[in-house]
Homo-oligomer: A and B are copies of this chain.
Amino acid sequence: MTALPSKGFAFRTIATDGNARRSVLTTPHGDVDLPTFMPVGTQGSVKTLTPTEVASTGARIVLGNTYHLWLRPGAELIAEFGGLHKFTRWPHAMLTDSGGFQAFSLSGPMPTSRGRQAEATEKAPARSLVKATEEGFSFRSFLDGSKRHLSPEEAVRVQGLIGADIQMQLDVCPPGDSPRDIVEAAVARTTRWAARALATPRPVGQALFGIVQGGCFADLRKMHADELAALEPRFDGLALGGFSVGEPIEKMYETLAEVAHYVDPARPRYLMGVGTPFDLLEGVEHGVDMFDCVLPTRNARNGQALTRFGRVIVKQARYKDDRLPIDPECSCECCTGGYSRAYLRHLYLAGEILVLRLISLHNLHFYGELMKQSRDAIERGEFHVFKRAAVDRMRRGEP
């Protein structure tokens, strides 16, 4: 067990298998078994589910979006209630992003992202100009048009009020197809912002993670990882940002293969906004410890269940009289509760909220199981075998 710089945090790696590793992150709200997937609770709720249900999927850490919570209900109100844990009744660990990605992407044009998003709100936010300077981001609230300024220091202050266990530094995240000079500038500014974030006082009991940028330029990534790892006071963990922002998936996989294991092994590594079940297995293989993505919950609300054998799109006519649950071998409440695909299809076509709940629960449970099986496989030294079988099964589709 190695203590991390912030009080109440520690990190230890129990087992490795190639670059994959099985670790434990200790936080003031309990231990988190790594690798892990963090469900996204953009507005203080993992959409459609209660905290008890989210925990039942195996999740022991969730992500909140600082941008949304800052604008509504407001960081001060959350602080008044003793922080986001108490406000939302989530008893386990929490992480907040810095708000920069949303301030930027909700206010201006961004390339299509597969995962690095907040969970959509009912109303699409109005796009407005965002100004990015050395000082930070200036933008207007999508709710009331009020002017907001997000600097590295302000991101720490706001996240301090929200009170998650883990804060993220404000970073600069260029689109996935940016040329090298743009990416270099983003890396350099992110490092300067990292130093400013680390120099900003934050409440005791909150950790701070740095964010490695560099796009798909592996040399930039490694250089940046070294830079951030060397900063004092030290970051508690290091994230890989700027993936799944429009670059080809193969490029992401190639870069991850070169870079992820290179990031300081003494601290947790977090791959931001990623991804599909395939992405998670790929990330684990290369040494990633933490993931987050809206995909399992957003796809659920579009009627897409994710399973061991690929996607089950419940509205399809083929399920009209299908008596099977989504996955007969799954142990989630949806699959063990006797809800047939035919019934779920009916509920989806009829616009019933219950089906969004049931599939959200199933999808997060599937992600939770995938991570648990990955941890077990690493401990057995069989992660590669497990990964190949899991990928094949998902690709083959339903037997």
* A interface residues with partner B (beta carbon < 8 Å): 43-45, 47-50, 68, 72-73, 77, 80-81, 86-89, 121-123, 320-321, 323, 333, 337-340, 342-343, 345-347, 349-354, 356-358
Contact assessment for B50 and A343 in the assembled complex, using a CB-CB cutoff below 8 Å? no
Q: Which residues of B contact A43 (CB under 8 A)?
A: 346-347, 350, 352
Minimum CB–CB distance for A344 against chain B, Å: 11
Alpha-carbon distance A73/B342, docked complex (angstroms): 9
Contact assessment for B88 and A343 in the assembled complex, using a CB-CB cutoff below 8 Å? yes
Contact assessment for A347 and B77 in the assembled complex, using a CB-CB cutoff below 8 Å? no
Top 10 nearest A-B pairs by Cβ distance? A122-B351, A73-B346, A43-B350, A48-B353, A45-B352, A45-B354, A89-B338, A87-B343, A353-B353, A45-B347
Contact assessment for B89 and A352 in the assembled complex, using a CB-CB cutoff below 8 Å? no
Alpha-carbon distance A353/B69, docked complex (angstroms): 17
Copies in the complex: 2
Q: Which residues of B contact A333 (CB under 8 A)?
A: 50
Alpha-carbon distance A72/B348, docked complex (angstroms): 11
Q: Which residues of B contact A72 (CB under 8 A)?
A: 346, 349-350
Most buried by B among A121, A353, A354, A358: A354
Contact assessment for B321 and A80 in the assembled complex, using a CB-CB cutoff below 8 Å? yes
Known pairs A50-B337, A81-B342 / 5 extra A-B pairs, C-beta < 8 Å? A43-B347, A45-B350, A48-B357, A72-B349, A121-B350
